Amino acid sequence: MSAASMFDLSGKTVLITGANRGLGQGMALALAEAGADICAVGSSGADTTAEKVTALGRRFHFIRADLTSISPVEDIITETLRVMGGLDILVNNAGSIRRGDVTEFTEEDWDAVMNLNLKTLFFMCQAAGRHMIAQGHGKIINTASLLSFQGGIRVPSYTASKSGVAGITRLLANEWASKGLNVNAIAPGYMATELTEGLQSDPERAKAILDRIPAARWGTPEDLGGATVFLASRVSNYVNGVIIPVDGGWLAR
């Protein structure tokens, strides 16, 4: 078997959340370039992603759903299977962040982030996992964060949720590896996306961040492509419960 064929995702169906822009779009396009068909889920349209995926000759389907609640989860899996004819890879990428001093942080700020970043992620894994266990194979890729390893500043619910993503990823790997499933996560570093516009526009913070990154640049959505395809493909069949930093060397500093 050639190295290229081991990364080939032809005939595979990916269900990915938060693929309308930024990191999720970069991950979806990398998977499509490797041959996969894409079913994207989000609360806002993904027209640009759809155009780019279909231009690659892959199928694309969009499911509009509010992932701040777990109520649409079962219907998402059902629709994916009905429309796409299968489900091989789940990418949990949808997420949000709220910033504020700990002494002023509200319950609403806490719940809004935890519900989307951790609670819905777990129940998406559960629902997809049931199908994957029944078919005897599947890949689940969660989006963790540098704050799965570090504490951060002024983002208590985000840090808690991403630390939880790392823990849930390991737990699911422990339970499901013997059933033919691979559950892993990617921890993006400081990426130049809409989510970090506030940091990028703050001269002092932007300089402090850039000075610490050994690669001497902010990451891009395209930088996640390699790790995503690796974890989605047969190359990673014996990789379980890892959180792969894609951070330009930030954690090594």
Spans of all domains in the chain: 3-193+221-247
| Selection from 50, 41, 44, 148 nearest residue 90 by Cα | 41
> Which pLDDT value is given to residue 45?
84
> Using DSSP, how many helices (H) and how many strands (E) does the chain show?
10, 7
| Selection from 50, 48, 18 nearest residue 37 by Cα | 50
Can you tell me the distance from the alpha carbon of 71 to that of 37, in angstroms, rounded to the nearest whole number? 25
Q: What parts of the chain have a pLDDT lower than 50?
A: none
Residue 180, C-beta contacts closer than 8 angstroms, at least 6 positions apart: 132, 133, 136, 137, 138
- Contact 115/69 with Cβ under 8 angstroms? yes
CATH number listed for the domain at residues 3-193+221-247: 3.40.50.720
* H or E element in which residue 74 lies: helix 73-84
Q: How many CB atoms lie within 10 A of CB 165?
A: 25
Active site residue 158: yes
The CA distances from residue 46 to 1, 11, 29, 52, 220, in Å, are 36, 22, 12, 10, 19
SS (H, E, C) 216-241: CCCECHHHHHHHHHHHHCHHHCCCCC
- What φ, ψ does residue 39 adopt, rounded to 5°? -115, 115
- What φ, ψ does residue 104 adopt, rounded to 5°? -115, 0
Catalytic residue among 158, 176, 218, 230: 158
> Which pLDDT value is given to residue 197?
84
Can you tell me the distance from the alpha carbon of 148 to that of 131, in angstroms, rounded to the nearest whole number? 28
Sheet with 60-64, edge to edge strand ranges: 60-64, 37-42, 13-17, 89-92, 138-143, 181-188, 243-246
